[in-house]
Structures are given as C-alpha cells and as structure tokens.
A and B are shown apart, each in its own frame.
Chain A
Amino acid sequence: GENVEQHPSTLSVQEGDSAVIKCTYSDSASNYFPWYKQELGKGPQLIIDIRSNVGEKKDQRIAVTLNKTAKHFSLHITETQPEDSAVYFCAASWDNFNKFYFGSGTKLNVKP
C-alpha cells in the first residue's frame, strides 16, 4: 500500500517568516494530495490540495508544489501568523479518492 512520510515533525518559526513542510509518497499511482490543518481540540480541515496534473497551486499565503518524478510534495506558508500554529497533515490518495494515506503530521509553532 501507499506510504507517506512527512518532515519535520515539529517546526518553530518567527512570525512573518516562511514555513515549509515536505512529504514523500511511495505509490506512483497516487494522484491527489491534500493538506489538512488541525487546531487543538478540532478535527482536520482541508486547507489546500493538488492533483497530479498540476505542479503548483497557490491560495493567498499558502502554496503546494508537487514533483511527480521524485514523488514528493510540499506545503509553503509565507508571512506566517500566530494563528497558523497547528498540526499540519499531508495525505496521498488514489482509488477514486476513497482512501487517504496520511503523513505523521508536523506541529507548527509560530512565535509572535
């Protein structure tokens, strides 16, 4: 089955700096890569996603890049704010999107 690895496990940045979280996947059939943000006491919330026919996608301060050849994708957050502090999960999916395989999560701490 699919195996998704995520790094780093924790990331601490100063407010206003950029943060980058990286994931690698093993199954070349995976074709959908979402990113979720999980705030304390809440369920994961989709923040951005990318499909395998696209190399990069942006939404305001967040962006995701995908390198299909190398089988890795990354989340970029620019101009970080304290409210960006949360756990971020990447995931990979195939099989008509019915099953997601999640990375182990990155705890992002944005220091004011």
Chain B
Amino acid sequence: DSGVTQTPKHLITATGQRVTLRCSPRSGDLSVYWYQQSLDQGLQFLIQYYNGEERAKGNILERFSAQQFPDLHSELNLSSLELGDSALYFCASSVDGRADTQYFGPGTRLTVL
C-alpha cells in the first residue's frame, strides 16, 4: 500500500457526461500528479500540482481540469466524456514536488459507454 488513496475504484458513465476523480496524497506529501493509462497510448502524464498551485502540464485535454485543495487532496474533472476517455487514471504524490520520489495510488478505472 503506497499511502495514496483514490476514489472511486471504478466508474461507469455515458458519453457526454462529467465525472470527478478524487485523490488523497500520502501524509506529508505536498505534490500530486495525474496520469492516464490507456491501452493504445500507455501511461501519460497529465498535470502536476504542488501545494495548491499548478506546477507542470502534460497532455491534458481542454475538457479535463484539475485542482488541489488546501487540505492537499486533488480532484480531476473530466467533462464531455468520449469513448476514448475510457482508461485507468492514476494519481501519484511526492513530498518535494520531484517526480523521482512519487508514489502511485491504485487508480480509478473509468469506462465510458
């Protein structure tokens, strides 16, 4: 158990809908990362937050947004969902904002029908 928690574990929804994925970092970690793992594109970095502020951005679509709250938990919002958004979404956290010290959560499996 990495100490990073993600809810829900599974999410099934329809095209056009909006969902929110939640991540709680390890105790003491200030930074949160979001990744998307799909069958055809592998594991892709989406976005990073450090102590509430956006620090780095990867291949995140405009339909997706994220934020990190004062208690350091983070939410990833996915809107206008398409079939291709079906994937595993991982959150990772690190204490110092460096990805080389990140720990991954168990992921949320999103299925868009």
Contact A97 B104 (CB under 8 A): no
Choose, from A17-25, A37-45, A68-76, the stretch at the interface: A37-45
Q: Which of A89, A97, A103 contacts B98 (CB 8 A)?
A: A97
Closest to A32 in B: B100
A104 part of interface (Cβ distance < 8 Å): yes
Q: Closest Cβ of chain A: how far from B59's Cβ, in Å?
A: 9
B113 part of interface (Cβ distance < 8 Å): no
Query: What band does the interface of chain A fall in when counting residues whose beta carbon is under 8 Å from B?
Result: 20 to 34
One digit per residue, 1 when the CB lies within 8 angstroms of any chain A CB and 0 when it does not, for chain B 62-75 equals 00000000000000
Closest to A4 in B: B42
One digit per residue, 1 when the CB lies within 8 angstroms of any chain A CB and 0 when it does not, for chain B 94-113 equals 00011110101111000000
10 contacts between A and B (CB under 8 A): A34-B100, A42-B107, A43-B105, A44-B90, A97-B98, A97-B99, A98-B97, A99-B58, A102-B42, A102-B45
A residues engaging B (CB < 8 A)?
A: 32, 34, 36, 41-46, 49, 89, 93, 95-105
